[in-house]
Chain A
Amino acid sequence: MSPQLVSQLSVGGSTLVLLAGLMMLWRRGVNAHIGAFTAQSVALAATTAMVGWFTGDWQLWAVAVLLLLVKAVGIPILLKRMARRFGTERELEPYVNTATSLLLGGLLVLLAYVVTGPLVSVSQLPTRTGMPLAMGLVFVSLLVIISRKKALTQVLGFLMLENGIALLAVLGTHGIPIIVEIGVFLDVALGFMVMQVFVYQIHETFESIDVEQLNRLRE
């Protein structure tokens, strides 16, 4: 596998991951969001597998399989269960409208390109070409967390953020030691369970998962 091909595939994989993230800004509806997250995790797993094939590192293959099982299968099942329970309410207008969020997303990708410029020029790895896009995903998921009102969407934004960081690690340093990777997964899983409890509590208190309602706690 030649370095040029790896470069192209890294950019291709990162683009798919980023596009799935941008889908979160574009589509409304919790089911579309969960579908975008699933697609993103699959793309991430595929990219990790590709890098694993290139470097011949079995740990990356293990990471890819783990990603697939946990993030593309396990978490979406849990999310769908939550969506069935809480997601059946009407659409909530986000703080920033769709067209503007998409444009902001584009600007953030450009910002990511500027920010990772020094990194890309220093690195020697053929996978460095996808790094700006991974950084862009990090920024875009932060935008999702800030600008959306439903708690479920914010949880998804957080999960996407984690995806972005994982992609950055894979492309930038060809992965991190598997022990650390498993630790991170455990963190994410626990965090997700805590968030589940929170969303349940919010729904119990306010009969909706509109995070703006939390303002009422002041009274």
Chain B
Amino acid sequence: MVSGYAAGAAAALVFGTGALARWASALGAIVGAAAGVALAAGAWVWGAAFVLEAPGLLGPAGGMAFSLDGLGAVFLGLTSLIAAPSALYGAGYSRTWDGRPALRQVGFMLNVFLLTMSLVPLADGALTFLLFWEGMSLSSYFLVLTEADGPDVVEAGQWYLAMTQIGLACLLGAFLLIQSGGPGSFASLRAAAAELPAGTRDAVFALALVGFGGKAGLIPLHVWLPRAHPAAPSHVSALMSGAMIKMGVYGLLRVGLDVLGGGPAWWGALVIGLGALSAVLGILYALTEDDIKRLLAYSSVENIGVIMLGVGAAFLFKSLGMPQAGALALAAALFHAVNHAAFKGLLFLGAGAVLHATGTRDMNHLGGLIRGMPWTAALFLVGSVAIAGLPPLNGFVSEWLLFQSLLPGIGVPSPLVAVLMVLALGMLALTAGLAAACFVKAFGITFLAIPRSPEALAAHEAAWSMRVGMVALAGACLALSVGASVILPLLSAVAVPLVGPAAPAPVFNVGVTLRTPEGFARMSPLLVAAGLGLVVLATWLAVRLFGSRRPLRVGETWGCGRVVQTPRMEYTSTAFAEPLRRIFAAFYRPSEDVSIDFHPESRYFVQSISYRSAIEPWFERYLYAPVIARVRLWSERVLALQSGSVHAYLTYLVAVLVLLLGWLAVTGRR
């Protein structure tokens, strides 16, 4: 796997900036991804353990160690699953940078990114973990900055870099708190964590939550997501949204459940609360977006919220001594993570195809693309149905599981927990409904009706490599849904040891039906899909055979007897979200600005009307702006030290040297 990615990286640098470079680097990435899948499958399905000690690498700092257990295998498999289609897609997509140095950068950094990201779940020690974590962040930072001449891209990069470094600091702090000094392997960390006092454990958890939550995009640390994901090239956005933010979930599970071994109930409650909040706020922000990639980025925030809901429920159930319920919740969350990778990857790739074909991301300028880009449209539709959580695709199965996993929480004796579960259920249901509305808008406005701009009219279908990549992911969506009863027992086998030592595995029929523990509910995604397909086919046949023989007539859109239909008359993306914007006005606080230019001759005639609307950026304004202002203030004070005079700097050096020598002399060390 390592060699595959390394070869891809090298190829990108070596082969210059042409088609050969594109394909070579993509091929390297695909080989690496395939190896990753094989490795993950081996560890996960057949229990083949993988352990590699490399004390030689970075010896003085403690050496690096790798091992792959079930949990890591899930995330490695997830990454590799979308790496191959994205790389294939990238081969065609990167044609925009043919002949420019950016091509080299994209190819190289993509392979480095995939490599570091795949090695994070393999890491078996704090040093290794943090090294590859930082590598992942940095390589994705460079990828985000690929088109550095765009106006928002640099700002996006700045936010992203700042958030990742803050996260790194928190993680460093967390690991140091557990065990300062000594080998950093996870085994020794586990032993050290078992002896920590409760207060320190809480602090470690809090730091880990901030660090990993920031990477995952949990509210209120999500602000980098809607900036960075749209700015990056589309296949990179797919990877970031599909795989990288899941590493945040992985980290939280690894540190919280594995190393720390679970904690008091408030940990789980906090994660559930943040998850539910992220889910609802994420989709609410997504609904009002006109930029298709920002919409998808906010939708990722929503889905991370949903995953964290399951993770938090697992923590909570573990602390309440209900290991079966916890295992079910965790299995549901992991399954949703895998599903999200598949359909969000697909959606980002589709959005990238649209961007590539039309040059714009603004949905108010798109439309009618289903005629020029039929493949992309159909595949984007599959992704939309999946992410809206509708049967028969995979999004519905994982949401069904999450619903079922939250149910046992209502029976808990503590009224606070019961109330929390009820609220979480309501918010999950609201999110599901709003997600459906959001993706009707995303697909409908972008692909259906009449093109709203000449670019949309002239759109052409994506290159075949892009299409193959998308088809692969769409197939994955269907396979994950239909094969859920095969995948879920494996996931629950991963979940059970994390949540409780002596829990019998939740019973999932390896067959056609999913059965939750204690027989509370049953569902068969395969039967539902098959039934739906059969019924639709039967209807079509019946209408064909018994219906009228009169041919179809094509005419102008009726629209209540209007004579002509222009693109200006269609519903826009802003208009579609208008009812929801009004209903949730207390949250959005929309500011509207309507300016009308009247005809100079008479106020009864209007020359132009412009409408501008903005929603209140709560987190940027009230959480981040004061912090940034404070940091600026301190930076300016420190600026006084930078006088620019060489003598001043030399003085600083000598002074520090003298102080150090003096201190050594005083404390008597050599």
Contact = CB atoms under 8 A, between A and B. Distances in A.
A and B touch in the complex (CB under 8 A): yes
Interface string A99-126: 1100000000011011001000000000
Q: Secondary structure of the A side of the interface?
A: helix
B586 A114 contact: no
Interface stretch (B131-139, B299-307, B414-422, B439-447): B414-422
B455 to A, nearest CB: 40
B419 A113 contact: yes
Contacts of A110: 419, 422-423
A139 to B, nearest CB: 14
A99 B416 CA distance: 24
A11 to B, nearest CB: 16
Nearest to A103: B426
Contacts of A114: 415-416, 419
A171 to B, nearest CB: 17
A24 B212 CA distance: 46
A113 B419 CA distance: 8
B382 to A, nearest CB: 35
B103 to A, nearest CB: 53
Interface in B574-631: 583, 586
Interface in A59-116: 97, 99-100, 110-111, 113-114
A114 B418 CA distance: 9
Contacts of B418: 113
Nearest to B415: A117
Contacts of B416: 114
Contacts of A111: 419
A114 B419 CA distance: 8
Contacts of A113: 415, 418-419
A117 B417 CA distance: 12
Contacts of A100: 586
A113 B423 CA distance: 13
A148 to B, nearest CB: 18
Interface string B239-275: 0000000000000000000000000000000000000
A97 B419 CA distance: 24
Interface residues on A, range: under 10
Interface string B410-452: 0000111011001100000000000000000000000000000
Contacts of B586: 97, 100
A169 B644 CA distance: 78
Contacts of B414: 117
A99 B583 CA distance: 9
Contacts of B415: 113-114, 117
B28 to A, nearest CB: 54
Contacts of A117: 414-415
A121 to B, nearest CB: 8
B410 to A, nearest CB: 12
Contacts of A99: 583
Nearest to A113: B415
Nearest to A100: B586
A87 to B, nearest CB: 28
A113 B422 CA distance: 12
A180 B416 CA distance: 35
B413 to A, nearest CB: 8
A99 B587 CA distance: 13
Contacts of B583: 99
Nearest to B416: A114
A104 to B, nearest CB: 12
Contacts of B419: 110-111, 113-114
Nearest to B423: A110
A202 B419 CA distance: 42
A100 B587 CA distance: 11
Nearest to B414: A117
A100 B418 CA distance: 22
Contacts of B423: 110
B278 to A, nearest CB: 19
A16 B418 CA distance: 23
A110 B419 CA distance: 6
B590 to A, nearest CB: 15
A100 B583 CA distance: 10
A105 B422 CA distance: 15
B452 to A, nearest CB: 33
B276 to A, nearest CB: 14
A100 B584 CA distance: 10
Interface string B385-421: 0000000000000000000000000000011101100
B440 to A, nearest CB: 23
A39 B422 CA distance: 29
A97 B418 CA distance: 28
A110 B423 CA distance: 9
A56 B414 CA distance: 34
Most A C-beta atoms less than 10 A away, residue of B415, B416, B583: B415
Interface string B524-557: 0000000000000000000000000000000000
A113 B414 CA distance: 11
Nearest to A110: B419
B639 to A, nearest CB: 47
A95 to B, nearest CB: 12
Nearest to B419: A110
Nearest to A118: B415
A97 B584 CA distance: 11
B2 to A, nearest CB: 53
B369 to A, nearest CB: 37
A111 B419 CA distance: 8
6 contacts: A99-B583, A100-B586, A110-B423, A111-B419, A113-B419, A114-B416
Interface of B: 414-416, 418-419, 422-423, 583, 586
Given A110-B422, A114-B416, 13 more contacts: A97-B586, A99-B583, A100-B586, A110-B419, A110-B423, A111-B419, A113-B415, A113-B418, A113-B419, A114-B415, A114-B419, A117-B414, A117-B415
Top 5 A-B pairs, shortest CB-CB distance? A117-B415, A110-B419, A114-B415, A114-B416, A114-B419
